[in-house]
Chain A
Amino acid sequence: MTVLSRVFARRTALVGAILLLLVILFCFFGPLLYGTDQSHTDLSAARLGPGSGHPLGTDDLGYDVLGRLMVAGRTSLIIGVLAGLIATAIGAVWGALAGYTGGWLDTVLMRVVDTGVAIPALFLLLVAATLVTPSVGVLALIIGCVSWLVPARLMRAETVSLRERDYIRAITVLGASRTRVVFRHVIPNAIGTVVVNATFQIADAILLVAYVSFLGLGVPAPDTDWGAMLSKGITYTFDGSWWLILPPGIAIVLVVCAINFLGDGLRDAFAVKGRR
């Protein structure tokens, strides 16, 4: 069986993949079917409950919530995926370098990781937000740069065990350069672990984007993302405007869940140990 068919043999992974596909369709192609004005405020239509014309109501500035959910989802997904990939790339190279080289470089690189773990990512994000104006690219870069520690640790562990394998030793004896061994042999052979972890990184990044926006440091208006929608909706929680909070909240939970299900399926498919 190929990896993919093994993944989808698991019902949870299949459900995750389908859910994720639906959300992507909703966010990127939804606006083509359901056009709404997401750049001009309309205070005369502010905070309307769900009903005809606005299936999910409108927010405090008169934006249609359903349409806003699509636009916001695009931002959340793009930043999440980019940040997850950046984190995975940095972490993979860092961990492979540390694990393969060993010695003092390993010690130095891993102490940097320990330091990063000890400093809360939210602190770095807060400081970064005072330094630069957040945009989609900047946020993805910053979130990617604060969340590469776990993939680095994983990659190091993987590399240390690969390093001892005979075929890597053979290549080294044949005179392959260190860079070549790391990039051509160690990283590709650890790719299973990395791919699985990347899915979790993306899920975590989407959550982190939500946190950052929730704290008021997200993309500037009229752009928005799910975390920012939630954060704005909180003001009206006690007025009973549930349609401002539940849709973005449920969207975040749904996407993160779907990605985690998919990642779990991938992990099981790659894992040899549990396949008997």
Chain B
Amino acid sequence: MTRYLLKRLVLAVVVVLLVTVVTFVLLHLLPGGPARGVLGVQATQEQIDAFNKAQGFDQPLPVQFWDYLVRLLHGDLGDSYTQNSPVSTLLTERVPKTLLLTAISTLLAIVVALPVGVWQAVRRGKAADHVATGVTFLLYATPVFFLSLVLIIVFAQVLPWFPAQAAQGDTIGELLSQPGSLVLPVVAGMGAALAAFSRYMRASTLDNLAEDYVRTARAKGTPERTIIWRHVWPNSLTSVVSMLGYYVPVVFSGSLVVESMFNYPGVGLLFWTAARNADFPVLLGVVLVIAVATVIGSLLADVVQLVIDPRVRVKGARS
């Protein structure tokens, strides 16, 4: 087991390293390099040369990459081109706010979706299953920005129950002190996750219901309720848990849109503004944070699965 964990850890580090290579290469693929992005198309060649020299962009690429890595290891993500602040400061301000929003909506989505998935699986092929399937498909097919728009039109315009603009504030406390303004962004963020998790739980429960241990339990006269909640539920849960880790980028893409729709002061909004202003240090910083979060997410998912699912543990190192 230790060997397996070590191997996973090494692979995780490799993936993070590869991500830094990709972001670095992309930055240099931009026409005119980062200089054009900052100075704009009007810049003269002298201005660009001066900028490149000042930023160290005239060095050979491997040297630049090495510098980049060394700085990253020291927590230095560079300075924003447009906002007078280091990227790391911007990120530490914004990340907790995004975590707050995504954690609430993902948790709520899971709490609703998992029982729905099991409920559907038990009623497979019945009308209730079809209806629920229809609703989840509808939710999955609705782009976050359209869902947000509909929510704004219905719950901020037609029925003025909630503000269309999310809470503003510098601290988590300030945001939480205006719970009404968090309702619409949270609900908008739940949509796709709700659909994905309930679909996944349904499939996973169906797979488990077809297993021999269920037949054995039934043959022994175990009540159906006990079979579902004592045996099938925990087993189905493990596969959904392993999906959670891979869900980080999806959640982020959703928050990018939700935050720009409701003007919520998180990482997504930061990323979106940076993208429009070609603020590459900020873009790269955000991408690195997400990439590391994704890698840690899938690592944790594997570890959790190792701990809660005896079948994985017995197979040991999984070759």
Contact = CB atoms under 8 A, between A and B. Distances in A.
A131 B23 CA distance: 14
Interface stretch (B55-63, B64-72, B148-156, B227-235): B148-156
B291 A119 contact: yes
10 contacts: A11-B130, A118-B15, A118-B292, A119-B291, A210-B143, A211-B257, A234-B149, A245-B146, A249-B143, A260-B137
Interface residues of A, number: 46
B283 A123 contact: yes
Given A120-B290, A211-B257, A260-B140, A126 B275 contact: yes
Interface string A248-264: 01001111110011001
B210 A273 contact: yes
A118 B152 contact: no
Interface string A120-152: 111110110011000000000000000000000
B19 A115 contact: yes
B141 A253 contact: yes
A232 to B, nearest CB: 12
A207 B191 CA distance: 14
A59 to B, nearest CB: 16
B256 interface: yes
**Best-surrounded residue of A207, A210, A211, A253 (most CB of chain B within 10 A):** A253
A118 B249 contact: yes
Nearest to A132: B31
A270 B240 CA distance: 23
A274 interface: yes
A176 to B, nearest CB: 26
Contact of A131 (B15, B31, B252): B31
A260 B290 CA distance: 28
Contacts of B15: 111, 114-115, 118
Interface string B1-41: 00000000001001110110011001001110000010000
Contacts of B146: 230, 245, 249, 252-253
A118 B141 CA distance: 23
A234 B252 CA distance: 22
Interface in A168-223: 203, 207, 210-211, 214-216
Contacts of A211: 143, 145, 253, 257
Given A119-B249, A210-B143, 20 more contacts: A111-B14, A112-B18, A115-B19, A115-B291, A117-B246, A119-B19, A119-B22, A127-B26, A127-B283, A130-B37, A207-B143, A211-B143, A216-B276, A231-B145, A234-B145, A237-B149, A237-B153, A240-B157, A252-B142, A274-B206
B287 A120 contact: yes
B11 A111 contact: yes
Contact of B145 (A114, A123, A127, A214): A214
Contacts of B18: 111-112, 114-115
A11 B146 CA distance: 27
A249 B287 contact: no
B143 A214 contact: yes
**Best-surrounded residue of A118, A238, A273, A274 (most CB of chain B within 10 A):** A118
Given A214-B145, A274-B206, A242 B153 contact: yes
A41 interface: no
Interface of B is mostly: helix
B41 to A, nearest CB: 12
**Best-surrounded residue of A211, A216, A231 (most CB of chain B within 10 A):** A211
Q: How large is the interface on B (under 10, 10 to 19, 20 to 34, 35 or more residues)?
A: 35 or more
Interface string B204-227: 001100100000000000000000
A230 to B, nearest CB: 6
Nearest to A116: B22
Contact of B137 (A11, A227, A242, A261): A261
Nearest to B192: A207
Nearest to B136: A260
A215 B286 CA distance: 17
B294 interface: yes
Given A111-B15, A131-B29, A203-B141, A117 B249 contact: yes
Contacts of B286: 123
A36 interface: no
Contacts of A114: 11, 15, 18, 295, 298
A12 interface: yes
A20 to B, nearest CB: 12
Contacts of B283: 123, 126-127
Contacts of B19: 115, 118-119
Contacts of B142: 249, 252-253
Nearest to A242: B153
A127 B30 contact: yes
B278 interface: yes
**Best-surrounded residue of A11, A127, A227, A264 (most CB of chain B within 10 A):** A127
